[in-house]
């Protein structure tokens, strides 16, 4: 899932649960085939996003767990604005169970008032950051039964629990790892307090893009009294296996060796895992949906990563 000294970075791909460029939304047989082939080529993690109008992650992820055997799986990221934190914790424990301890729980705040879909569908748009802060704490404390074995009493601004507990909790006594999406000081502090891993929430391309996050992360860790060395650092990358896309500032582009070198360079600046969006070369989206053609081309990137030494 994450890199060890001298190893390549962990590599994740996001399964296409939304409409890809010029094609309809992938159906389950296509998603299943992509998941199996990605696992076979050595991809470390498979993700499902959480957006209204996409296939729901809690429907797709258990199915992916059932047909795979090695790859880690999880939502990247689950929006805390859509669900009560107790239901998030319960579902995460269930996914960890059916996957045999391969689940990762990615959590994010969502866009809140900036997303018009929230209001149209009746989701509470106000106080979405407070909801995020309380949700991540509650989820972490419900899942991590070794650290907090007693029923949880929580009296927050949004949520109130009176002796809450999640049973059963899956194969890992402390639950699945929690990856918290963060970009600025407030979300970084949530990650520093409760996350096993911080997942930078804007595209990474070079050292400067990494350092733009590392500064706020160091400040957040200092504010909450955590050693920054104890939190894993991950992020996502838009990839184009096409040199013509090299003029985009949010993209690592080129042939497979070029892309592998770009990913290795990010690893050298502290990234242990990289979630890659790779799709049709003409797809303008910052999050191109994975296609069969893209996955077939991705095999050469995996080979190049294995062949290249760590920077």
Please compute Rg for the chain using Cα positions: 19
DSSP states along 246-265 = TT-TTEEESSHHHHHHHHHH
> b/e for 199-227, b at 16 or more Cβ within 10 A?
bbbebbbeeebbeebbebbeebbeeeebe
**Domains within the chain, CATH numbers bracketed:** 10-307 (3.20.20.30)
List the pLDDT tens digit at each of the 311 positions of the chain. Answer: 445 445 899 999 999 999 888 888 999 999 999 999 999 999 999 999 999 889 999 999 999 999 999 999 999 999 999 999 999 999 999 999 999 999 999 999 988 777 777 777 787 778 889 999 999 999 999 999 888 888 999 999 999 999 999 988 889 988 999 999 999 899 999 999 999 999 999 999 999 999 999 999 999 999 999 999 999 999 999 999 887 666 788 999 999 999 999 999 999 999 999 999 997 778 888 999 999 999 999 999 999 999 976 65
Q: Half-sphere exposure of residue 273, counting CA atoms within 13 Å on the CB side? A: 24
Alpha-carbon span 287 to 284, nearest angstrom: 8
> pTM (2 decimals)?
0.94
């Amino acid at each position: 899932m994450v890199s060890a000294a001298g190893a390549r970075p962990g590599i994740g791909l996001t399964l296409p649960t939304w409409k890809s460029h010029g094609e309809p939304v992938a159906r389950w047989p296509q998603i299943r085939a992509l998941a199996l082939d990605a696992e076979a080529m050595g991809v470390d993690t498979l993700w499902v996003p959480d957006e209204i109008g996409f296939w729901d992650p809690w429907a797709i992820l258990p199915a992916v767990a059932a047909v795979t055997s090695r790859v880690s799986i999880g939502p990247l990221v689950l929006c805390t604005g859509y669900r009560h934190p107790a239901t998030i914790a319960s579902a995460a424990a269930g996914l960890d169970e059916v996957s045999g301890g391969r689940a990762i729980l990615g959590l994010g705040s969502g866009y809140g008032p900036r997303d018009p879909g929230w209001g149209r569908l009746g989701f509470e748009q106000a106080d979405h950051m407070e909801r995020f802060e309380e949700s991540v704490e509650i989820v972490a404390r419900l899942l991590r039964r070794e650290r907090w074995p007693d029923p949880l009493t929580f009296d927050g601004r949004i949520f109130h629990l009176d002796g809450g507990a999640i049973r059963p909790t899956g194969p890992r006594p402390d639950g699945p790892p929690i990856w918290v999406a963060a970009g600025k000081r407030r979300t970084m502090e949530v990650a520093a307090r409760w996350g096993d891993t911080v997942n930078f929430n804007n595209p990474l391309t070079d050292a400067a893009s990494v350092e733009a996050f590392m500064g706020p992360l160091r400040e957040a860790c200092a504010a909450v009294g955590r050693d920054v060395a104890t939190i894993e650092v991950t992020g996502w990358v838009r990839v184009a296996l096409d040199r013509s896309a090299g003029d985009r500032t949010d993209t690592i582009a080129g042939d497979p060796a070029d892309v592998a070198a770009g990913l290795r360079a990010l690893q050298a600046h502290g990234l242990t895992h990289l979630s890659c969006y790779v799709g049709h070369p003409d797809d303008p989206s910052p999050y191109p949906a994975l296609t069969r053609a893209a996955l077939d081309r991705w095999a050469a990137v995996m080979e190049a990563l294995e062949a290249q030494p760590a920077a």
